Amino acid sequence: MCDGCGQMLAVRYDLPAVAASVTKEALRQRPPGMYRFRELLPLGPAEEPVDLGEGGTALLPLPRLGAHLGMRRLWAKDEGQNPTGSFKARGLGMAVTRARTLGVKGLMIPSAGNAGGAAAVYGARAGLPVAVVVPRGTPEAAVAEAALAGAPVFTVEGSIATAGKLIAKVAPRLGWFDLATLKEPYRLEGKKTMGLELAEQLDWETPDYLMYPTGGGTGLVGIWKAYEELAAMGWIKTRQPRFVAVQAEGCAPVVKAWNDKAETTVLWENPVTHAAGLRVPGPFAGRQMLGILRETGGSARAVSEGEIVEAQRLLARTEGIWTAPEAAAALAALLQLRDRGEVGPGDRVVMILTGCGIKCAPPALPAPVHLEGGDEEILARVRQRLGA
Ligand SMILES: *Cc1c(COP(=O)(O)O)cnc(C)c1O
């Protein structure tokens, strides 16, 4: 954060120089993973990333879901394939890399779950101490991930906003670094690689719509920054997709500000949603996100808890992808846009599936049928369950 104005810092590159130093063909020869875009990342010449194989996630065409929705050009960028099961690996991998190089003593991070887990994991990989502060009731797997990696985990009553305020007070007293969203510029640079990959995977064509499940908003701002930089390098023709910020009805500060035509977000009182990563009542980047939605002709949509679960089931049933509730919200919002006729059958739509479902509590499901007894009895039970 800038000590003078309180706003975020951003990394700037000499983009003409980058464009002159690397070609699309040269890029194609490099191994997968986010550090293949090294020229567009804040790494010194000899700086080694703290690497667990993050990035390089699949861009999956969704033909069966598309047929179901009446949409022909639909993709999912499956960020659940990252180490730690979410795109947070990109941001925290990059931030921990920089923190190690800059010689910080320790890192403290406020989190709704996945960011804390990822920070702890990359901290372990780098040999850097990390402490995590999460709200009570944070999904168990993310807390376990952090604790298993050796990070002390603290809980607070409230939300990530409460955790953030606490760290802002405590971290300076300890001489530890506050790794809160967008208060340092490197997490954003890591998340930016989602956009760089997406551009390359779509052969440098820009999609019409980009559905993004929005909490703190670093992913959205990061992808936007990727397209800005690629446009400045002359690598893409269409500057930006239309960004759709997706939130849960129980915590929708960006959607509210969008509907109110406000310049910035106001703190959402009593945020509630089972999509933990969307439980961010006061995103630091609120103003910037709203600017991006306006500038790209995008919008903001809120979805209900029920719509999230239905979308999660639909994606798993049609394409076999068990995605996180946050990510399922992107599909729920797409259903709304389709029903309202705001996206058409031929529009190119990319949903960012920010995390994997395996890390989260599953929706209600049929219990497994236990098989025992004689052959005929077993066959009868199997028949009954299969309806065959
Ligand atoms: C953190 C998180 C989000 C929200 O991402 P931001 O970039 O902070 O808006 C969405 N989904 C999952 C799974 C997350 O962990």
What is the reported pLDDT for 115? 96
How far is Cα 147 from Cα 29, in angstroms, rounded to an integer?
A: 38
CA distance 28 to 155: 44
- Ligand 1 pocket: which of 79, 81, 292, 326 to mutate (most atoms <8 Å of CB)? 326
Our answer on whether the CB atom of 88 is closer than 6 Å to any ligand 1 atom is yes
- Rounded to two decimals, the pTM is 0.96
Q: From the CB of 324, is ligand 1 less than 6 Å away?
A: yes
d(CA 142, CA 85): 10
3 state SS of 16: helix
Provide the β-strand partners of residue 134. Answer: 155
pLDDT recorded at residue 5: 77
pLDDT along the chain (388 residues), means of 10: 77 96 96 95 95 98 98 98 98 97 96 96 98 95 97 96 95 94 89 98 97 96 98 94 98 98 97 96 94 98 98 98 98 98 97 96 94 97 94
Ligand 1 pocket check: which of 57, 114, 188 to mutate, most ligand atoms within 8 Å of Cβ?
114
CB of 91 within 6 A of ligand 1: the answer is: no
265 lines ligand 1 (CB under 6 A): no
Question: Rounded CA gap, 114 and 224, in Å?
Answer: 22
137 contacts: CB under 8 Å, gap ≥ 6: none
pLDDT score recorded for residue 311: 98
Tell me: the pLDDT tens digits for 83-134? 999 999 999 999 999 999 999 999 999 999 999 999 999 999 999 999 999 9
The DSSP element (H or E) to which 90 belongs, if any, is: helix 88-102
Burial 328-351 (b: 16+ CB within 10 A, else e): bbbbbbbbbbbeeeebeeebbbbb
Q: What is the pLDDT of residues 33-78, one digit of tens each?
A: 999 999 999 999 999 999 999 999 999 999 999 999 999 999 999 9
Domains along the chain? Answer: 59-85+188-359 (3.40.50.1100)
Please return the burial class of 90, using the count of CB atoms within 10 Å of its CB with bins 0-12, 13-18 and 19+: buried
User: Is residue 218 within 8 Å of 285, Cβ to Cβ?
Assistant: yes
- The letter for the amino acid at 163 is A
- Residue whose CA is at the smallest distance from ligand 1 atom 10: 277
Cβ of 217 below 6 Å from ligand 1: yes
Q: Ligand 1 centroid vs 87 CA: distance in angstroms? A: 8
